[in-house]
Amino acid sequence: MKIAIVGSINADIVINVREFAAPNETVISEQDYVLSDGGKGANQAAAVAAAGAEASFIARIGDDELGNRAIANLVQAGVNCEFVSKTPHAATGLAAILVNRHGDNIISVAAGANAHLTAADISAAESSIAQADAIIVQLEVPLQAVEAAIRVARAHGVKVVLNPAPAPEAALTFLGDVDVLIPNESEARYLAALHGAEDASLENAARALLSAGARNVVVTLGADGCLLATAEGLRHIPPYPVEAVDTTGAGDVFCAFLTAALIRGAPLAAAVDEASAAAALSVTRPQARKHLPTAAEVMEFKTARP
């Protein structure tokens, strides 16, 4: 059971505040900042390993200490980093993350070496994708690399899961090659508008993304659960209510556990439910990757729910 992940790798600087600052306002944290490992691709790779699948990661880091630290962390988490390349004269990606007392976050990212991932890197890693049961991609790396990864996956009959985050600047030409599209609510509405949807309702946005070619659409709604859209229709998947401590990385955990459940043979709705449980459990813990839930913990969490 193998999943290839193509995406970003960052160092995260996390600052906890009571409330977010307004424009031109300074807010002082009552805690020390935390330097941790992140990036949507790296988060998803580590979460895939936590979910019990073999994770192979394709990415770029800078030739610096932050990059070395990130690789060491991923290897310790059980991720194959054979195709993570160092980029001379580029810094490892960096994310500045503010987390308020409600567990909400605001994130700004300097792409660094992530911006240097190319189609040539994907070609060099073709064997890793060809041997996978599924591939997960997001949009924190250049679109040419994303498109190349999806082309390689389709050529080898590998399932494609796309997390369209951050939202793209133009309509995506490859949605017809996506088996499962996983946007959040704002990304779904925005992406649907790029593809010509005039009605801003969430349901119509999901239908528009199906019409644009995606085989299945799972819109994550945070504390409100998920909207699952397939050729058979729309279905709301209820959430697992928890008290959030830190929502950073929850969407990445969701993508990883959903994909792992799918390649184990779970029906899509059941995979969404398992991913929802994993994401809910993850937000009860601080930091994106330090305390990732395992497959066994997610099962125990689901069993314990009323």
What domain range is 286 assigned to? 2-304
Is 18 annotated among the ligand-binding residues?
no
Neighbours of 45 (CB within 10 A): 33
What digits encode the pLDDT tens for the residues 229-265? 999 999 999 999 888 888 878 999 999 999 999 999 9
What's the whole-number mean pLDDT along residues 22-41? Answer: 90
What pLDDT score does 306 carry?
63
CA distances from 219 to 24, 74, 162, 202, 214 (A): 34, 28, 12, 9, 12
Closest among 169, 114, 188 to 145, alpha carbons compared = 114
Q: Does the pLDDT at position 200 exceed 80? A: no
Q: Which of 133, 179, 252, 273 is catalytic?
A: 252
Number of domains in the chain: 1
CATH number at residue 14: 3.40.1190.20
What digits encode the pLDDT tens for the residues 38-72? 899 999 999 999 999 999 999 999 999 999 999 99
Q: Does the pLDDT at position 215 exceed 80? A: yes
Is 114 annotated among the ligand-binding residues?
no
Q: Which residue did the predictor score with more confidence, 136 or 241?
A: 136
The dihedrals phi and psi of 167, each to the nearest 5 degrees, come to -60, 140
Quote the CA–CA distance of 161 and 271 in Å, as a whole number.
13
What residue spans of the chain are helical by DSSP H?
40-50, 65-76, 119-124, 126-130, 143-155, 185-194, 202-211, 250-263, 268-282, 295-304
What pLDDT score does 246 carry?
81
What pLDDT score does 288 carry?
59
What whole-number percentage of the chain has pLDDT above 90?
A: 78
Q: Does the pLDDT at position 182 exceed 70? A: yes
Lowest average pLDDT, out of 70-74, 135-139, 156-160, 285-289, goes to 285-289
Is 198 annotated among the ligand-binding residues?
no
What's the whole-number mean pLDDT along residues 180-195? Answer: 95
What digits encode the pLDDT tens for the residues 264-274? 999 999 999 99
Q: Which residue did the predictor score with more confidence, 273 or 198?
A: 273
Report the chain's mean pLDDT, rounded to a whole number: 93
Is 171 annotated among the ligand-binding residues?
no
What pLDDT score does 287 carry?
66
What whole-number percentage of the chain has pLDDT above 70?
A: 99
Q: Does the pLDDT at position 292 exceed 70? A: yes
252 is catalytic: yes
Is 246 annotated among the ligand-binding residues?
yes
pTM score: 0.92
What's the whole-number mean pLDDT along residues 124-129? Answer: 97
What DSSP letter does each residue of 78-92 carry, written as one string? TEEEEEEEEETT-PP
What digits encode the pLDDT tens for the residues 83-107? 999 999 899 999 898 989 887 888 8
Is 41 annotated among the ligand-binding residues?
yes
| Single-letter code of the amino acid located at 105 | N
